[in-house]
Structure 1
Amino acid sequence: MSSGVGVNDNCLTEFQVIKLGKKYRYVIYKLSADNKEIVVDKTGPIDSTYDSFTAELPEAEPRWVVYDFEYKLDEGGQRNKLTFISWSPDDAKIRPKMLYASSRDALRRRLDGIALEIQGTAFDEVSYEAILDKAKRSAR
């Protein structure tokens, strides 16, 4: 199901900056005030911590995020995975949750190079440990 919303060109520009330029740790996307297009909400500098990123997620509003997730394998190797997070907290109102769910693919289809996808309705589902576990499992 598609909501018919567009994707602002700046969303793709900022995605390329995180993917190729490595200048951000994350990009948070949201729907515009009129719900007609997806826009960039915030970006996080490359030296951002995971905790500072999760602090940027609203407790009662959906968002989408591309996060450049860095982790170490048990064998010692360093890895990065571009991670797409659909944030739809339990406390969000039903209408925005439905609109974000039906608009997700409009954004996701335009982002080439995503290695992990996470859906979170509570902060424990998007915790560093939860993402790390999924990243390590996908590396096998």
Structure 2
Amino acid sequence: MAQSGVSVSPDCITAFNDLKLGKSTKWIIYKISDDWKEIVVEESSTSDDYSAFREKLLNAKSKDRKGKEGMGGRYAVYDVQYDTEGEGSRSKITFIAWVPDDAPQYPRMMYSSSKEAIKRALNGLAADIQANDPDDIEFENIVSRVSKGR
């Protein structure tokens, strides 16, 4: 359980293992449930259309404690494929914590304090990216950070 008291649904681990074992899943988006008690799978896809994945993160909404909907955070796992000079094609399973700077305070706090719980549950992550601005999740920026091992 996270410092925030949020637990990780077993479905999160099952979906991640499907991606990790190459069962055609390309990406997964996780969210904290509307009652703020559990991290759940919001969506997964077999498509490698990064722009569609990025749009889903950018358009994510969360409800605050009073039920008001606003900009929301998400966790995501993306199987990033990229080419390296002289070494050919590479792939790294990358964890992305998307917590926009302009999200309301409560969702920002909950996503930040629950991040380690989901990361611990997902064994086999190769890279970890904290993204707070739309530029942070541009594909070129993701590849740059992943290929440097940061």
Sort the TM-score into its range (normalised by shorter chain).
over 0.9
- The match for 1:19 is 20
SS of the residue corresponding to residue 78 of structure 2 reads strand
Can you give the 5+ residue segments of structure 1 that lack an aligned partner in the other structure? Answer: none
RMSD: 1.5
User: 1:101 is aligned with what amino acid?
Assistant: S
- The match for 1:126 is 137
Deviation at 1:22, TM superposition (A): 3.5
Q: Distance in 2 between matches of 1:17 and 1:48?
A: 15
- The match for 1:86 is 97
- The match for 1:54 is 54
**Normalising by the residue count of structure 2, what TM-score does the alignment of the two structures yield?**
0.87
2:58 and 2:134 in contact (8 A); partners too:
no
User: 2:44 is aligned with what amino acid?
Assistant: T
User: 1:57 is aligned with what amino acid?
Assistant: L
When structure 1 is superposed on structure 2, of 25-34 and 1-10 the one drifting more is 1-10
Can you give the 5+ residue segments of structure 2 that lack an aligned partner in the other structure? Answer: 60-70
Segments of 4+ in structure 1 off by > 2 A? none
The count of residues paired between Structure 1 and Structure 2 equals 138
User: 1:90 is aligned with what amino acid?
Assistant: D
- After superposition, the C-alpha distances for 1:39-78 in whole angstroms (9 at most, x for unaligned) are 0011121x32111110111442100001000011122511
2:40 equivalent to 1:39: yes
Deviation at 1:127, TM superposition (A): 1.0
- After superposition, the C-alpha distances for 1:1-30 in whole angstroms (9 at most, x for unaligned) are 711111111000000011003421110000
